[in-house]
């Protein structure tokens, strides 16, 4: 018994491609039909409706053929195949592993934006034009002016910083002089106060000694007077 050659992914790619084209047509037909539902009946004709109906019908027939082809592939292929991706125009076909239900394929259509010729193309950046001697001279003068302004600002900041440091130093010296003067005045006051206290204490001692001497002299005089009276 002779077995038929089992279909491969390369042999079914045209079928997938035609199905993809019909699918896009069906999508456009569905879009036009949904758009025409909102328009007056007089705008579209019976020809448009017939074309859309035939496109949808052909798409359904191709889908039936795809289901039948998947069943046939499941009968012929008894060994699992590795995942394989085939490129065919604007379509990608990925062959999946075989299961008990049969062989399966994954059809990936490119986005319509990728196929649109109106899609924007990234242009190269514009080339820099050559500068003239006058423009170069103006740029150099502007750079020199900016340098002078920056230098003047730096010098101004340094002068302000030095002036601030000078003011801080002068204030510190003034505070130090004031502290020294106050400390000296306080010390002189304490010394004068101590001197006055010492002199007052000495004066009190002299006064007490003088009083003692006067008392002793009076006692001696009274004693002499008593002796003279008794004698």
- Write out pLDDT tens, residues 169-203: 999 999 999 999 999 999 999 999 999 999 999 99
Partner residues linked to 99 by β-bridges: 102
- Write out pLDDT tens, residues 130-145: 778 888 999 999 999 9
- Write out pLDDT tens, residues 12-38: 556 556 666 666 665 555 445 444 444
Q: How confident is the model at residue 3 (pLDDT cuts 50, 70, 90)?
A: very low
- More confident: 68 or 230: 230
CA distance 4 to 11: 14
Decide if pLDDT at 114 tops 90: no
CA distance 78 to 185: 118
Coil/strand/helix, residue 22: helix
Q: How confident is the model at residue 57 (pLDDT cuts 50, 70, 90)?
A: confident
Across the chain, mean pLDDT equals 73
Query: Between the CA atoms of 214, 217, 219 and 225, what dihedral angle is there, to the nearest 10 degrees?
Result: -140
- 154: tokens are 């730096």
CA distance 19 to 61: 9
- More confident: 129 or 4: 129
């Amino acid at each position: 018994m002779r077995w038929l050659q089992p279909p491969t992914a390369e042999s079914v790619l045209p079928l997938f491609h035609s199905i993809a084209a019909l699918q896009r047509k069906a999508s456009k037909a569905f879009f036009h039909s949904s758009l025409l539902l909102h328009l007056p009946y007089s705008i579209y004709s019976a020809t448009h409706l017939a074309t859309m109906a035939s496109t949808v019908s052909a798409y359904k027939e191709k889908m039936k053929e795809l289901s039948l082809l998947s069943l046939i592939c499941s009968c012929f292929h008894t060994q699992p195949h590795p995942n394989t991706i085939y490129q065919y125009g604007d379509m990608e076909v990925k062959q999946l592993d075989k299961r008990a239900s049969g062989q399966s394929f994954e059809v990936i259509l490119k986005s319509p934006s990728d196929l649109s010729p109106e899609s924007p193309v990234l242009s190269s950046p514009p080339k820099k034009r050559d500068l003239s001697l006058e423009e170069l001279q103006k740029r150099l003068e502007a750079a020199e002016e900016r340098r002078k302004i920056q230098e003047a600002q730096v010098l101004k900041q340094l002068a302000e910083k030095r002036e601030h440091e000078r003011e801080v130093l002068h204030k510190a010296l003034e505070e130090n002089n004031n502290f020294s003067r106050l400390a000296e005045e306080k010390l002189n006051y304490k010394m004068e106060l101590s001197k006055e206290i010492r002199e007052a204490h000495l004066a009190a001692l002299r006064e007490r000694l003088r009083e003692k001497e006067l008392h002793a002299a009076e006692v001696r005089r009274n004693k002499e007077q008593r002796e003279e009276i008794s004698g």
